[in-house]
Amino acid sequence: MRSLPEDRTTVRTYGALGVGIAGLILFLGYFVLPIPVPAVDTLTARLVFTIRWQTLPVLTLMAGIIHVANTRLQTSAIDPLSGRGEHLVGFYKRYIRNTQEQLSLHLIGQLALCTFVNLESMTLIPTFAFLFLIGRIVFWIGYKRNPLHRGTGFAMTFFPTLLTILFCIISLFISGPNFLIHDNLT
């Protein structure tokens, strides 16, 4: 059964809003209020810097897990094998699954990105981390209010990650897999 045209329009509208918000946040984070980046002039320093910033996006997954745990502890969903109360954690389980999917792609993209960009562009790493955090919060709120409104938060996390991965794939083929591995990265 196909989705309703008005539902598709709603999802597309909210998704487009998410792309616009993500673009604004990236612009502000890169050009207006860039987060200072230390001298990360080795591959190891770049990877450590990037991994540390990924603790912000991971908070979004932890929030979902905590909500499932609390809901199970306080309701009939305490025994997941009994089937009782599973409707009480359904939203959170779907949120967790989507967040795991998005977070996996985001983390791979960020780790690859930090090996291709110059030092000045490393400010993208914390900017993307904040954007992911904000996007997942917006996704949660929109999804909770109306599942058709989840598109804003989804787009805020998916499309920046998609562009990051595409950039890294293009960089891989243009610069080669050995790009800056043995050189000073600045």
Domain ranges of the chain: 5-33+46-175
Determine whether 152 is exposed, middle or buried from the number of CB atoms within 10 Å of its CB (0-12, 13-18, 19+): buried
| CA separation for the pair 115, 113 (Å, rounded) | 5
Task: Kindly state the tokens that stand for 27.
Answer: 């612009």
**pLDDT tens sequence for the chain (186 residues):** 888 989 999 999 999 999 999 999 999 999 999 999 999 989 999 999 999 999 999 999 999 999 999 999 999 999 989 889 899 999 999 999 999 999 999 999 999 999 999 999 999 999 999 999 999 999 999 999 999 999 999 999 999 999 999 999 999 999 988 887 765 555
> Which H or E element spans position 126?
helix 124-145
| CA separation for the pair 184, 186 (Å, rounded) | 6
The pLDDT, as a whole number, for residue 179 is 82
The pLDDT, as a whole number, for residue 10 is 96
The amino acid sitting at 57 is: P
- Can you tell me which residue has the tokens 């989705």? 3
- Cβ neighbours around 74 below 10 Å, total: 11
Is residue 138 within 8 Å of residue 18, measured between CB atoms? Answer: yes
CATH number of 5-33+46-175: 1.20.120
Query: Which alpha helices (H) appear in 2-85, and where do they start and end?
Result: 5-27, 43-53, 55-74
| CA separation for the pair 134, 156 (Å, rounded) | 8
The pLDDT, as a whole number, for residue 183 is 56
